[in-house]
Structure 1
Amino acid sequence: MISEDDKRLERQLCFAVYATAHAFTRAYKPLLDKIGLTYPQYLVMLVLWEKGCLPVKTIGEQLDLDSGTLSPLLKRLEQSGLITRLRDPKDERQVIVSLTKTGAATRTEVDSIMMAMGNAVGYSMEDMASLRDRLHLLRANLASVE
């Protein structure tokens, strides 16, 4: 039997994860404002900085975003001069996303953003890695229920 106290909102794991995700977004905002990115755009850029050019579908899979959410993000990044989107000459159905020189150069900001967020979190690198791994496991467990 689950106690009434354990049913309270602040005791729910789902709410703790939800509220923490919002807190992360708020903490990132001033850092990302300096380089003209929103948090979702930053995630797209992280994928591209790591992998280079990729099909839109692959970016969506990496970030667990559907095309209806991803397409406007990519459009704004392209308007900002950070990426290009071109049809794949081998398969016209696919759109390939690539970094521009400006987009690639923006990667230099990642170190300062990560250090600032590391300080904000207040955990050691080992603690952050452990928490990240546990969250990945939690996500995998939840995905297996679908």
Structure 2
Amino acid sequence: MAMPTVDQQLCFALYSASRAMTASYRPLLDGLGLTYPQYLVMLVVWEEERISVGHLGERLRLDSGTLSPLLKRLEAHGVVRRVRSTADERVVDVVLTREGRALQERASDVPRQAWAATGLSASESYDLVHAVQQLTRSLEASRHDPTPHDPSPQKDPA
């Protein structure tokens, strides 16, 4: 069996789509002074208002070496503060500031504009999000299950 071409590879399709999606956000976020990774951080902080750095990293699947510089820049812009948790001083929380709340209002149309750029219907968008989330769960689970699974269709022996 011949190896599939790059254009037939799921990994390349996802990689290309991710790059195109990130590029489509750039003009929407430039006016807000945010990079795409910073926007993702802010989405979670806007949702939670106060969240531990560890939990934030889990939500975004980012390690502390990647997350720390993002938080440092967001803190320098005044949209978040990092503070010690009152429950456990070993834990650092990220807290939304007044400026961060104002930024959320300015960013409120970004999701609609980004979705419009996809050309997908609401139903197609919903289905795609859930399919990609299922793919992510399967891939993460497969890292812990060394048994290879062959998803290719089996030919009828007849």
Q: Please classify the TM superposition score into its range, dividing by the shorter chain length.
A: over 0.9
Q: C-alpha offsets along residues 66-105 of structure 1, whole Å, 9 cap, x if unaligned?
A: 0000000000000001000011133221101001101011
Determine whether 1:70 maps to 2:73.
no
Aligned equivalent of 1:19: 16
* Fraction of identical pairs, as percent: 44
Moved more, 126-135 or 88-97: 88-97
Q: Return the letter of the residue paired with 1:102.
A: E
**Contact 2:32–2:107, Cα closer than 8 Å, also in 1:** no
- How far, CA to CA, are the matches of 1:124 and 1:109 in structure 2? 25
Aligned equivalent of 1:145: 142
Q: Which of residues 48, 51, 69 in structure 1 aligns to 2:48?
A: 51
Higher helix share: 1
Q: Which of residues 119, 122, 131 in structure 2 aligns to 1:122?
A: 119
Alignment coverage as a number of residue pairs: 143
Q: Which of residues 106, 112, 126 in structure 1 aligns to 2:103?
A: 106
Whichever of the two has the greater Rg, that structure is 2
Q: Return the letter of the residue paired with 2:115.
A: G
Residue 41 of structure 1: how far off its partner (Å): 0.5
- How far, CA to CA, are the matches of 2:87 and 2:8 in structure 1? 52
- How far, CA to CA, are the matches of 2:49 and 2:96 in structure 1? 7
Residue 111 of structure 1: how far off its partner (Å): 3.3
Relative to the length of structure 1, the TM-score reads: 0.94
Structure 1: give runs of 5+ residues left out of the alignment. none
Cα 1:142–1:69 shift into 2, 3 Å: same
Residue 108 of structure 1: how far off its partner (Å): 1.5
Q: C-alpha offsets along residues 105-137 of structure 1, whole Å, 9 cap, x if unaligned?
A: 111234311121111100111110000000000
Aligned equivalent of 1:32: 29
Give the CA RMSD over aligned residues.
Answer: 1.1
Structure 2: give runs of 5+ residues left out of the alignment. 144-158
